[in-house]
Amino acid sequence: MVSYSEYIDVMRVTIDTNVLLEGLKRKGHCGQIVDLWAARKIEVCVSTALALEYEAVLKRHGGPNRTNQVEKVLQALLFRATFVPIIFSYRPASPDPGDDMVIDCVMNGRTVLITSNTKDFIGAAEQLGFELLTPKKFLAKYPKRYQEN
């Protein structure tokens, strides 16, 4: 399967909430992906539903004392995102109904999906034909020239 992202200069991706949360907590592969997003070296596509999920999960895990910090960080990242209107819904596509909004964003934005939770997305990826990568696999595949300063 040839990915849409291979035809454009900057890779278009959708980042699952687990990658964003882990990337903001620690460095590692998820942190590197969040850093690429912040530096605008990848084009992160987000739907309204996914942005609201990011906000809810980050606030829940950030605790009441960090709500203001979480909002500022998320606002900065979303400013660097491309919003994707959901024209067509592919529901139900995942064993976890909460993941369907991610699949809708991937399909409407024609993006690669980066997630640490591949088991809930593998069936939809095979059926709908989108590329599914873990953070580690994405970084291994990502063109090195974009990671350089």
Strands 43-46 and 12-15: parallel
Whether residue 98 lies inside any domain: the answer is yes
CATH number at residue 65: 3.40.50.1010
pLDDT at 9 over 90: no
Q: What pLDDT band is residue 145 in, cutting at 50, 70 and 90? A: low
Range of the domain at 54: 4-142
CA dist 123 and 28 (Å) reads 27
E strands along the chain, which residues?
12-15, 43-46, 82-83, 112-114, 132-133
pTM here? Answer: 0.88
Give pLDDT, residue 76: 95
What's the rounded Cα separation, in Å, for the pair 34 and 21?
9
Residue 60 phi, psi (nearest 5)? -65, -40
Q: pLDDT by residue (tens digit) across 11-20?
A: 999 999 999 9
118 domain residue, yes or no: yes
